[in-house]
Structures are given as structure tokens and as C-alpha cells.
A and B are shown apart, each in its own frame.
Chain A
Amino acid sequence: MKVDDAKSSNTTLPKLLLHNAQLYRDRVAMRTKYKGIWREISWQGYANRVAQFCWGLMELGMKKGDHASILGENCPEWVFADLAIQSLGGVSVGVYPTNSVEQVRYILDHSRSKVVVVKDQEQADKVLAAKADLPELQAIVVIDMKGLAHYEDPLLISYKDVEKKGAEVLAQQPEAFSEIAEATQPDDVAFIVYTSGTTGPPKGAMISHRNIIHQVITTLQPVLHFTDQDSLLSYLPLCHIFERNLSMAMPLVFGYVVNFAESIDTVQENIREISPTFFAAVPRILEKLHSSVQIKLQNSTPLKRLGFRFGEWVGKKIVPYKMKRISLPLRLRPLYGLAYLVSFRPVREKLGLLRCRCIMSGGAPIAPEVLAFFRQLGITTIEMYGLTETSGGCTGPLHEIKHGSVGQPSTGLEFKLADDGEILFKGDSVFSGYYRDDAATAEILRDGWLHTGDVGKLDDDGHLYIVDRKKDIIITSGGKNISPSEIENKLKCSPYIKEAIIVGDGRKFVTSLIQIDYDNVGNWAQNNKVAFTTYKSLATNPIIYRLIEDEVQAVNAGLAQVEKIKKFKILEKELDQDDEELTATQKVKRKVIAKRFQKEIEEMYRSA
């Protein structure tokens, strides 16, 4: 019933919240770890707290059409604030908690935020530092007041106080909230997502209620198959469209439980405690899990290693069946059962993936080898492709999963490949435009088609393969087209390589800058009695150079002649978001890096 309503696109996120509060009432909507114990929040409680905060914001002077930002790590209050802002007809803007003062200032200013909701002292300090340049800012609402008792800024107010203000008014007129929430319209802008900006300053993509609900129902659900029995851990940044969908919008449609990690440090333990049925991750996290298993294996007993190798061997046999989603032939079943007992089960338990029915990777390209690792553990592992500008996903495997493919284009969107291979989409999920940037909007939305800027190719069954960012494709001086991210991801499969940047545009051959993984290489160095003190001493050690050289050669073996990495250089410093080398989602900024490490790059080509 509800899904049909949504399909007819006459609903909005606040309306869905009211609906769920009535339908599910005391059922668990969220869990959050407080004082070491998982506390539950019911759907009714969820709606009440949104209502109170919403009214509190109006008491602070927010009106329909006003903008408000949210800055901080994931917590239930983040989602309450998000929906509260939307309920009063406002537009909510998420800001990455890892952003610097400068970036926070830019987004608060550009989005014309009247109110900003911050998680804690750390984030409040950033806003206070930027405050002088933000004339429109009227209040800074702080969720966790720890350490702020002696601050005397008149703009500061605690989240609880705002909530209390709202509760007082709502106690008088209990129907008031549902009246305003019902007044929200599908074509209202619900929130603005600032793209992480690998090029230039971030752009604010405006997402309407219609965009996001259409996205959830026609693109994500046919691939992910959520029910109200699912549960997942919310730990990726909520201001990113990917986690916004999973933690905020999708539960409003399907009624599953969202669990909030206790802190960023505890994600690993929290996953084990919750054992989510669905695990969404960006490549970096899956790469990390993958390499952590490899490293732990090196330090474990021979018997355990044998068990793991056996599991790997069986895994390779069963993967083709699992990916086609057909049942295993009888002869493989006992093997699978045995491998499950000696390898899959213990490994999955250690990773917290015991109950996990599906792992989804998105946000950036991932090496097929990493996906293969999870598939060999018997977990359905899929890759989806999407953009902020399409409100999330736009492709995913509907039935069969193919190695290296991001699945079929969503049936809810029109899709075509341009003559130069660029991927184009059209449909209700496509965003409403960039906020205060008509030029950029006109550039990406031409003739109603969203130009993704990615180049892809289709196979005979209609599965899409992403080649690379259009502007990142390297043309060597010999005129060959090379996709750098494909080679980079192969390199990043090595547990010793954290980041790789392929260089070669207009050059005679391909080279690479490599950042070693400090933990794993450090571990290797310890085991091999190589003395080191810091990242730099590891990075400049010739023995480590040889270790990386072997890894590069192994990758080269699988590459075409023109793609082979002839030379590489280990970076003497770690790439950092603070130095503007990485985006908030930890993607490398090629231009910045090419400029900053120009000397190193020139050296590689000069000595040729």
C-alpha cells in the first residue's frame, strides 16, 4: 500500500515518517549505543523527536524555504534534525565532519544556512571560527554540550533546549506537526548534498522528495531487496547521498532498523555486535577488511592458514553459481558445508558479517579481486554505480552478477551511451540542479539528459562496465587510451599499497606514484627485521622499494604492454585531506597531486 503510494510519487519523506509512526508504533526504528548499552528508539519515538525538534527550530525563527546545515558524525539526532528541517518546508544541508574551517565556511555561506546543527565541541569550534563571515547564521545548535559549558557565544544553544522548546508548544497543540508535515510537497527540495569536489569547489546538488523516493523504489530496491527484517550499521558520512539513502530515506519506505556506531573508532566492534544483514561500504573499507584478513592470516597458525586456503579453493568453485544466482550442484554441497565450518563461518564472524546477506560497494571504483574475496566467503557482493546527481544509484545487478560490472541500468531511468561512450541518464531520480550555480547545472543537464562524465560500455546482456572518468582517461604520446583507475585499483589490491596514482598523459610510458600502507608495510618490516621509525623512513628504505617493486611487477603481468608501469615512486609523505590532496570521501585529487609531486614525476621521466 505504502509502496504504491510512493510509486505514484505523491508522498514526501516527512509524510512517510508519520505513516511509519502509525504503522509500526513501538517497533524498533533505530538503535544507538549509549553508555555501553544499545538503546532502542521506536518509530513513535522517532516521529515525536522529529516533531519536537522541528517545532523548536520554528521557535528559533526558521520558516518554510529556509536552509539549515548539519555538521557532525552519524547519530540519531542527525537524522532527527534532517527530517525536522524538511518537515517545516526547509532544506537541510549535510557537511562532512572532516571538513576544515575553510570548507565549513564555504558551505555554510554558499548554502545560506540560517541554523547549523553541530555534533560536538570540535565542530562547534569550526563554526565559531567561521562565524564572522556568516551574517545569515542565527543559531548554532549543539547536540553534545561536553566541553562547552564555558562558551558564552549568544548563538550557541543545546539540542535538548531546542527540543524542549518545541515539546512545550506541541503539548498545547498535538496535531500541529502532522499538519505542517502533510503540507510538504513532492517537488520541494528536501536537501542539498555538496559533492566532495575532486575538481574545484564543492557544488550543492538539490534533491527533491520526488527524486529521492523515486530513487529508493525504482533503482535501489530492485537490487537490494530490503524488508523490515533487515538491520544495518550507519557509519559512512550521512551527508553523502549513499548513507543518506540507507540511513534516512530507505528505512522510511521499508521500515528496517538503523544502528548507529558508537564512535568512529568502534565501527569494527559495533559491526560484530550488531552483525548487520546488509553492509554497504566504500572501496577503501572493503580493501581494509580484505588486507586485515591477509595480514592476520600471516600471523596465525599453519592449521588455520590451511583451513583458509581450503575455503578459498572451495570458494572459487562456488562463486560462479552464486553470481548467476543458481543453486549449487549436488557434488559441491558437502564441500561448501565443510568450507563453511572451517573457514567461511569463523572469518565472517571475525569480520562481523555472519548474518550479512549482501555487501554493496559504491562511491568509487573497486578492484574486482577485493569483491572476489568476499564472494569466496559465500556473501553476495555487488557493485552499484551512481552519482549524487541521480540521488544515489543508477545501475545495479538485477539478477545475475558479473565480475567487474556495475550491473544493469535502473529500469526506473532512461539510459543511453553517447557516441563517445559517456553514460547518460534521464528520469525522476535526476536531481533538480545545483544550488546557485546555473552554469554548472546547464553543463551537466543537457536536453534533459544528465551527463555523468563517466565512460562506460555495455555487454550483450545489458550489463554496464565503467571504464573511467571521461576527463581522467590517459592518452599516451603513442596515442593509446588507458584507464588509470583500472590500473590503480589493481595496485591497491596489494595490502602494502594504500594509494596509487597513475601518470602518463601525453607521455611515452606509464608511471605511478605510490603511497604505501603504513600499518601493513610496518608489520612486514617488523616481521622481516627491517628497522624503521616513521612513514618517511619506511618510504625511503630500498628494501621496501623492492617489496613494492615485486607488487608492481605482479600487477604488470596482468596488463597490456602499453599499460605496464615502467617506473614508480614511493611518496615520502602520506596523502591527507588537510593538505587538500584527498576529498572528504578520501578520493585522490589528481590535479593537486600532479602539481604537488611534479618534481617526482619529472624525475621518473627524465632518467628514462
Chain B
Amino acid sequence: MAVLNDNQAYHLEVDHLTMGFGGVVALQDVSLKVRQGEIYSIIGPNGAGKTTLFNCISGIYRPQAGSIRFRGRELIGVKPHKISQSGIARAFQNIALFQGMTVLENLMAARGHLQKYGLLTAAVFLGRCKKEEALSRDRVEDIIELLDLQRVRHMPVGALPYGLQKRVELGRALAMDPQIILVDEPVSGMNLEEREDMARYLLDIHESMSLTVMIIEHDMGLVMDLSDTVTVLNFGIKIAEGKPGDIYANPEVITAYLGQA
């Protein structure tokens, strides 16, 4: 876990965010501050608004009130593709990969926004195109190594088991060269061994790429082991924020989420 001090700059600031769908209020006056380089987890029961929060950050939803600032710049109203280009990548819970393409192709495709060459140079594969493609491949190979995907490099994603697809999904987000990565339920539907592997990969990523990582997760064990800071949502309201140990001890959290003993 990264060493934190309070003076450190906030990487992402969410201020008094409110988001409703018709009569349902999914997020109500939620504020949180994510420091540069920390692992920040958001937990809460089903329907607590966790994924809605991610959708607001990545620009898919437009909240009714509040603001989201990334390195001081307002994100609300910015188009999702602009947000991802500015350095916020997202690994989706329900795997967003091209099923018919290989692992390598999927990861290369994720870097499309970083390529500056035009159609003509691409057609002859010379000059800038060649250089940029080589650079991209280099980065992608780093990610393949980091996530131990060597064996499946040339396999179509659709043919891989679920646990591996989740890992490729994470790799796809990483391939975008982000500064913050939003990871939505990285271990849902996985067995114990796959969970342990995923936890190790998340730590490796955090350490070797010095990224800010935001995680939504149900697996309390994983969250408590990995996170620097945990926020608990319940029915769209933030009920607690703090270090993992404090959250465990918080009576309100126990009632809302962990169940009353």
C-alpha cells in the first residue's frame, strides 16, 4: 500500500454528486476525494449506486447536480471518449472486448486513441505509423507480461475461460495508458485461486505502473486487503469513508452491509 499524507494532491474529486432516474435517486449528495496513487475501493449492497458512480465519472451518465474534477478539470458534460483520452480507463464488470479478435488485437485496439498517424501512412505502413505501432506493441507486451497472458496471446478472446477474459479486460483498460483505472467487480464469478491471482495482479499494476486504482467490489476480504481507503455506499448515500480497519469497526456499515449480528 502506498504511503499517504494528507498534503498529497487529490487526483479525482467528486463533489455533492446527485443522480436520479425518474423517481429513483441512485446517488444522493455523494462526495469523495481520491489521492494520487492510492487504491480506493467502493463497497455497498446491490443497488447502492456504485456502478452509477463509475458511469458518472466515465461520462456515460450526466448527473443532475454536483461536480467531478479530474486533476482540477471539470468532467461533467465532457464526452465519454474525451474522458478516456484524458487518462481515465475503465475495466467493465461484463467484459467489453471484441470476442472474435485475439488477446493481442484487443489490447492493440485499446490504444487506438493514442495513434496519430493517418489513413495514408497506415496503408503503406511506413514512417510514423510503423514507429507508433512498434511503440504500442512494446507497451502491450509489457501488459501481457504483467498479467501473464503470454500463452493466450494469439487466442480469440471468445474462446478463453471467464477468469482469463476478466484479466484481458483489465489489460485492455491498462493498454490505454491511463492515470486512473476504474475496475468494476474484478473478481465476481471467480473461484478462490482466480481471486488471489487477480488481487496479486491489481497490486502489481498499482506498484509497477504507479496508477490510481478505483475498485468496486463485493468481496470484503479482497477490499480490506488491497485498499488504502474504502467508501461505503448504501441506497445512494455515502455512509462511511476511511481506512479498511475503521470501516470494519463502523457500526453503521455493519448494519447496512455486513448484516446485523
**Measuring CB to CB, which residues of chain A are less than 8 angstroms from any residue of chain B?**
35-36, 146-147, 149-150, 262-263, 265-266, 269
Contacts and interface: CB of A to CB of B under 8 A. Distances in A.
Nearest to B148: A263
A150 B204 CA distance: 11
B193 to A, nearest CB: 14
B207 A36 contact: no
A35 B141 contact: yes
Contacts, number: 33
Contact of A146 (B104, B144, B146, B153): B146
B142 A36 contact: no
Nearest to A34: B141
Nearest to B142: A35
A551 to B, nearest CB: 30
Contact of A150 (B138, B145, B148, B207): B207
B73 interface: no
B150 interface: yes
Interface of B: 104, 137-138, 141-142, 144-146, 148, 150-151, 153, 200, 203-204, 207-208
B150 A266 contact: yes
Contacts of A36: 104, 137, 141, 144, 150, 153
Given A35-B142, A146-B208, A263-B148, 4 more contacts: A36-B137, A147-B203, A265-B148, A266-B150
A266 B145 CA distance: 13
Contacts of A35: 137-138, 141-142, 144-145
Contacts of B146: 146
B207 A147 contact: yes
A146 B204 contact: yes
A508 to B, nearest CB: 45
B207 A265 contact: no
Nearest to A33: B150
Nearest to B141: A35
Contacts of B148: 263, 265
Nearest to B104: A36
A265 B151 CA distance: 6
A262 B104 CA distance: 16
Give the interface centre of A35, A146, A269 by most chain B CB atoms within 10 Å: A35
B204 to A, nearest CB: 6
B154 to A, nearest CB: 8
Contacts of B207: 147, 149-150
A269 B151 contact: yes
A263 B148 CA distance: 9
A262 B208 contact: no
Nearest to B153: A36
A147 B204 contact: yes
Nearest to A262: B150
B151 A263 contact: yes
Nearest to A265: B151
Contacts of A262: 150
B138 A149 contact: no
A109 B237 CA distance: 58
Contacts of B144: 35-36
Contacts of A269: 151
Given A146-B146, A146-B208, A150-B207, A266 B151 contact: yes
Nearest to B204: A147
B130 to A, nearest CB: 15
A362 B104 CA distance: 37
Contacts of A146: 146, 204, 208
A266 B144 CA distance: 13
A269 B151 CA distance: 8
Given A35-B138, A35-B145, A265 B204 contact: no
B150 A263 contact: yes
Nearest to A37: B141
A194 B207 CA distance: 37
A149 B208 contact: yes
A263 B200 CA distance: 18
A473 B86 CA distance: 72
14 contacts: A35-B137, A35-B138, A35-B144, A36-B144, A146-B146, A146-B208, A147-B200, A147-B204, A147-B207, A147-B208, A262-B150, A263-B148, A263-B151, A266-B151
Nearest to A149: B207
Leading 4 A-B pairs by shortest Cβ distance: A35-B141, A265-B151, A36-B141, A266-B151
Contacts of B153: 36
Contacts of A266: 150-151
B208 A265 contact: no
Contacts of B142: 35
B159 to A, nearest CB: 15
Contacts of A147: 200, 203-204, 207-208
Contacts of B141: 35-36
A133 to B, nearest CB: 27
B56 to A, nearest CB: 33
B258 to A, nearest CB: 30
Nearest to A267: B151
Residue among B104, B144, B203, B207 facing the most chain A CB atoms (10 A cut-off):
B207
A355 to B, nearest CB: 21
Contacts of B145: 35
Contacts of A150: 207
A147 B209 CA distance: 11
A261 to B, nearest CB: 10
Most buried by A among B137, B150, B203: B150
A282 B138 CA distance: 36
A263 B137 CA distance: 19
A21 B138 CA distance: 30
A212 B141 CA distance: 39
A150 B207 CA distance: 8
A576 to B, nearest CB: 15
Contacts of A265: 148, 150-151
Nearest to B144: A36
A262 B151 CA distance: 9
Nearest to A147: B204
A265 B147 CA distance: 13
A150 B210 CA distance: 12
Nearest to B2: A150
A266 B204 CA distance: 22
**Most-contacted residue by chain A among B104, B142, B145, B146 (CB, 10 A):** B145
Nearest to B145: A35
Contacts of B203: 147
A339 to B, nearest CB: 30
A36 B151 CA distance: 10
A263 B150 CA distance: 8
Nearest to A148: B207
A270 to B, nearest CB: 10
Contacts of B151: 263, 265-266, 269
A269 B152 CA distance: 10
Nearest to A35: B141
Nearest to B154: A269
Contacts of B150: 36, 262-263, 265-266
B107 to A, nearest CB: 11
A360 B137 CA distance: 38
A36 B153 CA distance: 9
Nearest to A264: B151
Nearest to B203: A147
A223 to B, nearest CB: 34
A248 to B, nearest CB: 24
A150 B37 CA distance: 15
A320 B145 CA distance: 47
A266 B207 CA distance: 26
Contacts of A149: 207-208
Contacts of B208: 146-147, 149
Nearest to A263: B150
A149 B207 CA distance: 8
A263 B138 CA distance: 18
